[in-house]
Amino acid sequence: MDEYSRFVDWDKMDVSAQSQDTKELSCTEFQELKQLARQGYWAKNHCLRAKVYHKLISSIPCRTVTPDANVYRDIVVKIVGKRSSGSLPLPEFVDNSLVPTYCLNAEGVGAVRKIILCIANQFPDISFCPALPAVIALLLHYSKDEAECFEQVCRILACNDPSKRLIDQTFLAFESSCMTFGDLVNKYCQAAHKLMVAVSEDVLEVYSDWQRWLFGELPMAYVARVFDVFLVEGYKVLYRVALALLKFFHKVRAGQPMESDSIQQDIRAFVRDIAKSVSPERLLEKAFAIRLFSRKEIQLLQMANEKALQQKGITVKQKRQNVHLAVHAENFKSEIVSVKEMRDIWSWIPERFALCQPLLLFTTLEHGCSLSRFYSHSEGHEPTLLLIKTTAKEVCGAYLSTDWSERRRGGNKLSFFGTGECFVFRLQPEVERYEWVIIKHPELATAGPETENQNHSSPAASTLSSGSGPSEPSERLSPFLSARHFNLPSKTASMFMAGSSECIIVGGGDGQALYLDADLNHGRTSHCNTFNNQPLCSENFQISVLEVWGFRD
């Protein structure tokens, strides 16, 4: 065996998968490294993987004073003393998380706790880092001694490149990552999300497990392959793999009864036993087949979620409010939807707003059928929820991300605005959320009267197209976010809502568009590519009740 075998129990390792061929890694170009990591170039050579890890981690830009191997040798005896490693208490910041043993021998299992305590001594600013035990345990397999492993983990923790996110070290960062993951599931794993909502009282609690799936439950052969790519590509890889795990869970378990009383426990068990159904190669293949947002876009979404938590004062661990508390049966009353239906809608909205409670702003039963009153009651609130019940008992609506006052930028012209977080949905006769679409012609936002008239005659046909965005996503802000929230040029904002004194248009999904007349008595839909040939509602409909809901802290 090689010099990196000190802490490895080779009886637990899949030695048959280990190649003895001598390999070297000479490339330094990012794209080439990325391809080699995804292909598993160093996955079947233990010594090569150890050397690659050392090389990649050594290249991480760190704070000037970052603890190294010599620091560990100086402090470990003072901190650990004569206590046996198995009795060493873990610091609170690991949050009672699993300390996986993977393929470590007895010495390696004890070394994990010693290194955690020494890191706690050197990084007093770490307040929440449940992934740390797994990262240490993994790196010990590829370290010559404890001191070397300590130094490598310290470099990961001390990374000072603002564009390179590695491991969450505060509850705010961790919780916002859980919210961001929930947003991504809502976007990319809608079938799985629908199942989570159906079987879980608190879907956000389920998604808060996402890092545990990767750093705790996932077997050694899998987590090492994930870590190979993570060290090259960064945090985004973790989201990809967690989404792939959820997709496979839904595919394998769809239609089967739950194995326990908790969907959380079922997912954990599935991830632990993933080798029964999915290979490491297939998992990564699935992960990288997801057309995820760019790193910059995910970073902005994370920032938005962090800001929402800070505004709520949620910066330390506490019980998360679930949708059953946000939409409370005693405090909620609508003439259109039931409490259960409102909770379903709440499960679709961005996580940062799921922290809020619904607040009725406008209803035609009380405020009349006036578009001007609709605007006056809705303006100043962002986001809002539009609910419509037709005389044919159909129920549909829209989640609107942007304040209706934005329409004034176009003067008297029909003005488009909003973000890609907008979506339309149907509750009756069947429940369906439609993916968002984008405005095909952004110039319509400042178009002249001729274009405005064209919009009135055929809003969806002339302005909407289904799809995921422009052809150059790397140069634009994610349509999930509003440009003005981040002081970015307004031209990067997507446009999904339109309003004037004569009508309202909301771009929906799968080619859906909702059009309301000024009297709020009539409306119509335009649907080019409907979901299973099911339109949002009747093409021409008469409104029975219309409500607008805001979000109260």
pLDDT digits (tens, 9 = 90+) for 512-534: 578 888 888 888 876 544 434 46
Would you state the pLDDT for residue 487?
38
Provide the pLDDT for residue 216: 93
Pick 225 or 425 by higher pLDDT.
Answer: 225
| Contact criterion met (CB below 8 Å) for 426 and 514 | no
* pLDDT confidence band for 435 (50 / 70 / 90): low
pLDDT at res. 468: 33
Task: Determine the distance from the C-alpha atom of residue 253 to the mean position of all C-alpha atoms in its chain, rounded to a whole number.
Answer: 22
The residue-averaged pLDDT of 376-395 equals 93
pLDDT at 526 (0 to 100): 65
Contact 221, 14 (CB under 8 A): yes
CA gap 259, 177 in Å, rounded = 28
State which of 98-107, 312-321, 503-512 shows the largest mean pLDDT: 98-107
C-alpha pair distances (Å), 380 with each of 131, 252, 404, 534: 41, 46, 8, 34
Calpha distance 283→294 (Å, rounded): 20
DSSP secondary structure letter of residue 104: B
Confidence band, pLDDT 50/70/90 cuts, at residue 414: confident
| Higher pLDDT among residues 143 and 295, named by residue | 143
Instruction: Identify the top-confidence range among 263-272, 298-307, 406-415, 482-491.
Output: 263-272
Q: Is the pLDDT of residue 153 over 70?
A: yes
Between residues 111 and 415, which one has the greater pLDDT?
111
Report the SS3 class of residue 496.
coil
Which tokens belong to 155? 């470099």
457 pLDDT tier (thresholds 50, 70, 90): very low
Q: Is 30 exposed, middle or buried (0-12, 13-18, 19+ CB in 10 A)?
A: exposed
The mean predicted confidence, pLDDT, of the chain is: 81
Q: Which two tokens stand for residue 43?
A: 């996955």
pLDDT (0 to 100) of residue 215:
95
Tell me the one-letter amino acid at 232: V
Helix axes of 132-140 and 220-233: crossing angle, nearest 10 degrees: 100
Task: Classify 539 as helix, strand or coil.
Answer: coil
Q: Using one digit for the tens of pLDDT, what is the confidence trace for 195-247?
A: 888 888 778 889 999 999 999 999 999 999 999 999 999 999 999 999 999 99
Does pLDDT of 390 surpass 60?
Answer: yes
Question: How far is Cα 62 from Cα 81, in angstroms, rounded to an integer?
Answer: 30
Please state the domain extents for the chain: 1-15+26-169, 170-324, 339-442+491-552
Q: Looking at per-residue confidence, does 143 or 527 come out higher? A: 143
CATH of domain 170-324: 1.10.472.80
- What pLDDT is recorded for position 495? 62
pLDDT at position 412 is 72
pLDDT at 357 over 80: yes
How many angstroms separate the CA atoms of 86 and 487, rounded?
Answer: 51
Dist CA 128 CA 373 (whole Å): 48
Q: Is pLDDT of 509 > 70?
A: no
| Residue with the larger pLDDT of the pair 533 and 261 | 261
Q: What is the DSSP string of 54-99?
A: HHHHHTS-B-SS---HHHHHHHHHHHHTTS-GGGPPPPGGGTT---
Q: What is the mean pLDDT of residues 407-416?
A: 77
Q: 365 with 511: CB under 8 angstroms? A: no
Contact 421, 401 (CB under 8 A): yes
Q: Is 42 a residue whose pLDDT tops 60?
A: yes
Query: Partners of 464 in the beta sheet?
Result: 439
Q: Classify each residue of 52-79 as buried b or exposed e, where b means 16 or more C-beta atoms within 10 Å of its C-beta.
A: bbbebbeebebeeebbebebbeebbeee
Please name the helix (run of DSSP H) or strand (run of DSSP E) that holds residue 376, with its range, or none. Answer: helix 371-378
The model's pLDDT over 295-315, given as tens digits with 9 standing for 90+, comes to 888 888 888 888 888 877 777
What b/e string do you get for 238-248 counting C-beta neighbours within 10 Å, with b at 16 or more?
bbbbbbbbbbb
CB 114 within 8 Å of CB 140: no
- Residue 506, beta-bridge partner list: 497, 514
Query: What's the longest Cα–Cα distance across the chain?
Result: 84
Q: What is the mean pLDDT of residues 363-378?
A: 93
C-beta of residue 414 within 8 angstroms of C-beta of residue 339: no
Note whether 134 and 171 are within 8 A (CB): no
DSSP state of 444: G
CB 297 within 8 A of CB 421: no
pLDDT for 510 beyond 50: no
Confidence category of residue 511, pLDDT binned at 50, 70, 90: low
For a pLDDT cut of 70, what percent of the chain falls above it? 82
Would the pLDDT of 25 be above 90? no
**d(Cα 268, Cα 325) in Å, to the nearest integer?**
26
- CA distance linking residue 432 with residue 177, whole number of Å: 27
Taking each helix axis from N to C end, the angle separating 106-122 and 69-80, rounded to the nearest 10 degrees, works out to 100
pLDDT at 257: 74
What average pLDDT does the segment 181-185 reach?
A: 92
Band (pLDDT 50/70/90 cuts) for residue 23 is low
